[in-house]
């Protein structure tokens, strides 16, 4: 059935792909974004954009008043781990925004929310691959805001019958067909692309003495298109759930650099620096629950993610 979906953060990297895919499937899309990082052009002309901040209940309410919303996909938020430790007040707004959104959902009778959570809720892994029963002990304030938002959603599900699906993303990468270039690159693949296109001199790999196969950190990269497929499947889930989204295939930083070299056909300038405090050696998702509850499986490889990001950056450099 075609629905009206409110997409918060729909002008950002991941949210804009959701907007595009929902529209392609015939849904009506309403976007709320304060454009603090998002770009209006990513929303496209077919979605209705409200430039509004989630921390202002009044600004946000307009989107609910004007449209009969069936479900919410909640991507809006600040996401830089290091900044969250230096400026917790800013990151507390992630929680305020979620509460405002839930209050309006309760007021307007909207019963379904899909939430962008993060592997950062787990903290230092006690084992890999990490399943959803792994202890949640965030090591940074960003991760705490994600976990707190999950807990608040759980309460609102009890108090207001709002069902929620918290999707805990691992490392999202690749381009979703909108030629996205990160205006403030903090994730590894956009940083590699900045080195490839000369915006940065070198890639500094932080630590080469981790207890991994080549000494560099291992992460689980998930393609943004696969990620949004899971969100769309989650719209149909009839109960609340917390679900990891990752591929279960760990890739080291060095392997990522080597794979990029192979895709683009030229070497990438690399330097080694000290470890970054708080970086675990390995983070890898168990995706059994996503497979079971959503009938989802990732389709794209790391090579696909690198190729699509490379094409996107090539267009604008």
Binding site for ligand NAD (CB under 6 A): 9, 11-15, 32-38, 53-55, 75-79, 93, 97, 116, 118, 169, 171-172, 187
Which H helix or E strand runs over 59? helix 57-66
Instruction: Compute the least distance from the CB of residue 183 to ligand NAD, in Å.
Output: 9
How is residue 282 annotated by DSSP? B
Q: Which is nearer to ligand NAD, 13 or 210 (CB)?
A: 13
Instruction: Compute the least distance from the CB of residue 13 to ligand NAD, in Å.
Output: 4
Strand residues in 65-170 grouped as ranges (E): 71-74, 112-118, 163-169
Give the bridge partners for 95, in sequence order: none
Nearest to 95 by CA among 145, 147, 38, 159: 145
The single residue of 91, 115, 122, 142 carrying the catalytic annotation is 142
Q: Cα separations (Å) of 120 from 74, 244, 275?
A: 17, 11, 18
**Distance (Å, whole) CA 55 – CA 73:** 16
Instruction: Compute the least distance from the CB of residue 1 to ligand NAD, in Å.
Output: 26
Q: Which is nearer to ligand NAD, 1 or 89 (CB)?
A: 89
Q: Which is nearer to ligand NAD, 77 or 138 (CB)?
A: 77
**Distance (Å, whole) CA 250 – CA 303:** 13
Q: Which is nearer to ligand NAD, 185 or 233 (CB)?
A: 185
- Two tokens at 11? 């002008």
Instruction: Compute the least distance from the CB of residue 224 to ligand NAD, in Å.
Output: 8
CB 223 within 8 A of CB 298: yes
Q: Which is nearer to ligand NAD, 53 or 194 (CB)?
A: 53
CB 12 within 8 A of CB 33: yes
First to last CA, the chain: 41
Asked about 156 being catalytic, the answer comes back as: no
Instruction: Compute the least distance from the CB of residue 267 to ligand NAD, in Å.
Output: 26
Instruction: Tokens 């196969």: give the residue.
Output: 213
Q: How far is CA 98 from the centre of its chain?
A: 15
The catalytic residue positions are 142
């Amino acid at each position: 059935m075609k629905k009206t979906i409110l997409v918060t953060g729909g002008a950002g990297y991941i949210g804009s792909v959701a907007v595009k895919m929902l529209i392609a499937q015939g849904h009506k899309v309403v976007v709320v974004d304060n454009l603090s990082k998002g770009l209006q052009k990513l929303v496209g002309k077919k979605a209705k954009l409200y430039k509004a901040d989630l921390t202002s209940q009044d600004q946000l309410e307009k989107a609910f008043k004007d449209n009969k919303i069936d479900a919410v996909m909640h991507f809006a938020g600040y996401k830089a781990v290091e900044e969250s430790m230096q400026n917790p007040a800013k990151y507390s707004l992630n929680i305020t925004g979620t509460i405002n959104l839930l209050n309006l959902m309760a007021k307007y009778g909207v019963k379904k929310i899909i939430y962008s959570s993060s592997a950062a809720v787990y903290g230092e892994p006690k084992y890999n691959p990490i399943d959803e029963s792994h202890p949640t002990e965030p090591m940074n304030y960003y991760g705490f805001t994600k976990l707190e938002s999950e807990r608040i959603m759980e309460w609102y599900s009890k108090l207001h019958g709002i069902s929620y699906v918290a999707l805990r993303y691992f490392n999202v990468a690749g381009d979703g067909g909108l030629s996205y270039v990160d205006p403030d690159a903090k994730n590894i693949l956009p940083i590699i692309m900045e080195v490839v296109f000369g915006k940065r001199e070198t890639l500094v790999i932080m630590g080469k003495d981790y207890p991994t196969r080549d000494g560099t950190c291992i992460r689980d990269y998930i393609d943004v298109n696969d990620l949004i497929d899971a969100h769309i499947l989650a719209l149909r889930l009839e109960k609340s759930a917390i679900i990891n989204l990752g591929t279960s295939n760990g890739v080291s930083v060095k392997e990522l650099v080597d794979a990029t070299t192979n895709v683009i056909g030229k070497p990438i300038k690399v330097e080694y620096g000290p470890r970054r405090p708080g970086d675990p050696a390995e983070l890898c998702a168990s995706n059994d629950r996503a497979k079971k509850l959503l009938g989802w499986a990732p389709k794209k490889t790391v090579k696909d993610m690198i190729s699509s990001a490379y094409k996107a950056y090539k267009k604008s450099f």
